[in-house]
Structure 1
Amino acid sequence: MSVTLASGDLEATFFPEAGMIGASLKHRGEEVLGQRGGLEAYRAERKTMGIPLLYPWANRLSARRFEVAGRTVDIDPERTPIRLDGSGLPMHGLLGAHPGWEAEATATSLTARFDFAAHPALLETFPFPHTLELDVTLDETMLRIVTIVRGEVPIAFGWHPYLTLPNVERADWHVEIPVTEQLALDDNMLPTGERSATHVPAGPLGDRAFDDAYTAPSAPFALEGGGRRIELAFEDGFPYAQVFAPPQDPLIAFEPMTAPTNALVTGTAALHTQYSAAFSIRVA
């Protein structure tokens, strides 16, 4: 069952029974989220699309069993279905397409709650009892998503909003990626710990491709073309970002992240008893 919010020129659809994924965001009736393999591929294979929540970690982990905050995380794909990358590394967390969300909606807002401790397989894998809350609001120009974690838990989650411009060639997309610091990645796309100053020129996407990690900028990321501008702002609680724009796929993802990739394994994911993070997508 889906929930659709509508206001002005915007319409957003979420699926609480499929991991609370934002499956659609339409502006003036046209889809501005990358659909990739679609909702069914997300449900069946955890292939991401739309706006998926990546929880309790975003991107990859370098190990399936490790210690964090004095507890053992033991990831077994047979016990808890997850997506693995080409090297067999766990991808994108445990809640992809997971049912169990309790949701309430109005015409322009959606609140949802997930009790992690109520799911024995999840708790056996990631032994931190806590609750997860989402507060989604839509107005005439903006979709805003607030994530709140309650309970003592290491924080390393993220979101992957895949954006697209309908009826505009990828090469003609104007992009603004106002980052100033890049995280070096190894051959497995895991941070090495090294950082460097960087500058990404604004302008046509052209034949440029991205799969890069940064500290989050203070200004919004932007995608523009065909008379439409999409801005994605990291409002609070997301100090890191990944930018993903594969060369053969007409989408770009500006990914809000609470910690660097692999932070649970490296021990750099901070322990919190309550954590709130917000991002927004503005379309005009």
Structure 2
Amino acid sequence: MKYGIAMPASSSPADSARPSETRRFATGRQFELRRGAALAVITELAAGLRLYSRDGIQLTESYGDDQIPPGATGITLAPWANRVEDGVWYLEGKKQQLDITEVSRNNASHGLLRNAAYALVDESEFSVTLQATVFPQHGYPFLVRHTVRYELDENMDLRVQQTLVNDSQDRAPFVLGAHPYLRLGDVAPEDLVLTVNARTRLVADERLIPRSTAAADGQYDLSGGTAVGDLLIDVALTDLTYDGGLARHTLTAPDGRSVSLEQDETCPYVHVFVTDTFPGRSKAVAIEPMTGPANAFNSGDGLRWLDPGEASTMGWGISASL
């Protein structure tokens, strides 16, 4: 395993030339996993996925050495995913106020570890495990540990496990999630077909806070495959279809090649974000596995509680047919 990979400031990890321990990166130490023709680069910052590629084909969006992850690219999310409205929720009737980190919508966004450095717990040729602690603080008075394990399996697919452990003396609420953006090499995003196996959408207001549910119909019915084309959506979906314990959501190229986000049954929600604001790309497609949706701390939807000493794990991954 290599780290501190030396690259031009504007490059992506795919352009890595040689190891160096003298460079410092905006996302901290870089953990490089290789297996056969597969490469994954994991960052110290937010235990993020900076790159996954196979056979030289880039399967996730990436960014340069001196950048923080644009659009939260590849970061892991704990102890909540997505948003908490006004940063406010109530614990046994007592108001909790989180810091507002999405100022434009007055929300607390993407948990408490998106700017945290994760410590190395374990590493091998094909895997790395990182861990960070959320200490008791205003808005979240609990002591919890978030552990993230990345592995390239025998098929060169990427497998990820995220585990939260409650080290508090009281029950702690949580939602776990991740924020990968998928791509298929140099295929124009507009030429890809997006398939998401979900039957229900969460209807959100202008601040992206869910207010109700509805059938995933119209532009939100992605179950039969929809051309990315002019599509622009930012929506949470649920009632996923599982096959062999996994729900699969896929980008497919005109020549039949594909890349899929897979999530296990601990993740009953997926957030799909198709945007035209990702730096250097005409379109980018985030497919985000989550154990619960936005504002779960208030709605209770998908919200889980850990007893003292208890742990909970979510699993997801990325596979490809090339």
TM-score band w.r.t. shorter chain: 0.7 to 0.9
- Unaligned segments of structure 2, at least 5 residues: 1-28
1:261 and 2:294 correspond? yes
Q: 1:168 aligns with which of 171, 178, 187?
A: 187
- Give me the identity figure in percent: 23
Alignment of structure 1 residues 42-57 onto 2, 5 Å: 42=68, 47-49=71-73, 51-57=74-80
> What pairs with 1:115-194 in structure 2 (closer than 5 Å)?
115-117=133-135, 123-139=137-153, 140-151=155-166, 152-194=171-213
1:3 to 2:31 alignment: yes
CA distance in 2 between counterparts of 1:263 and 1:203 reads: 29
Task: Note the C-alpha offset of 1:172.
Answer: 1.0
Match of 2:320 in 1: 283
Task: Report what 2:120 is aligned to.
Answer: 102
Counterpart of 1:271 in structure 2 is 305
1:252 to 274, 285, 298: 285
SS at match of 1:171: helix
Question: Structure 1: which 5+ runs fail to align?
Answer: 78-82
- AA aligned to 2:232 is A
Query: Is the CA contact 1:15–1:21 (under 8 Å) kept in the aligned structure 2?
Result: yes
Structure 2 distance, partners of 1:135, 1:21, is: 11
Separation in structure 2 between the aligned mates of residue 91 and residue 39 of structure 1, nearest angstrom: 24
Label 1:38 to 1:23 Cα distance change in 2 as closer, same or farther (>3 A).
Answer: same
Mapped partners of 2:216, 2:134: distance in 1: 39
Contact 2:85–2:106 (CA under 8 A) maintained in structure 1? no
Aligned to 1:62: 85
Shift in Å, 1:203: 4.1
Spell out, residue by residue over 1:110-136, the C-alpha distance to the aligned partner (whole angstroms, 9 max, x if none): 11222323xxxx634421112222222
Partner of 1:223: 251
RMSD value, Cα = 2.3
* Residue number among 25, 38, 53 corresponding to 1:26 in the alignment: 53
**Counterpart contact for 1:147–1:278, Cα < 8 Å:** yes
**Relative CO higher for 1 or 2, CA cutoff 8 Å, sep ≥ 6?**
1
Residues in 1 aligned to 2:103 and 2:64: alpha-carbon distance in whole angstroms? 19
- AA aligned to 1:237 is T
| Larger CA Rg, structure 1 vs 2 | 2
Structure 2 partner of 1:207 = 230
Q: How many residues align?
A: 270
Q: 1:95 to 1:148 in 2, by over 3 A?
A: same
Which range moved further: 162-171 or 245-254?
245-254
Q: Does the C-alpha gap of structure 1 residues 69 and 23 become closer, same or farther in structure 2, counting only changes over 3 Å?
A: farther
Measured in 2, the distance between the counterparts of 1:39 and 1:56 equals 27
1:65-103 Cα shifts (integer Å, max 9, x gaps): 3323566533236xxxxx415223222111113114233
Deviates most, 155-164 or 62-71: 62-71
Q: Which amino acid aligns with 1:92?
A: H
CA distance, structure 1, for counterparts of residue 92 and residue 124 of structure 2: 39
By how many angstroms is 1:278 displaced? 0.2
Q: Quick one: distance in 2 between partners of 1:157 and 1:143? A: 18
When normalised by structure 2's length, the TM-score is: 0.76
Cα deviation, residue 160, structure 1: 1.0
What is the aligned partner in structure 2 of residue 80 from structure 1? Answer: none
Which amino acid letter does the alignment assign opposite residue 42 of structure 1? Answer: I
Cα 1:180–1:39, aligned 2, differ >3 Å: closer, same or farther? farther
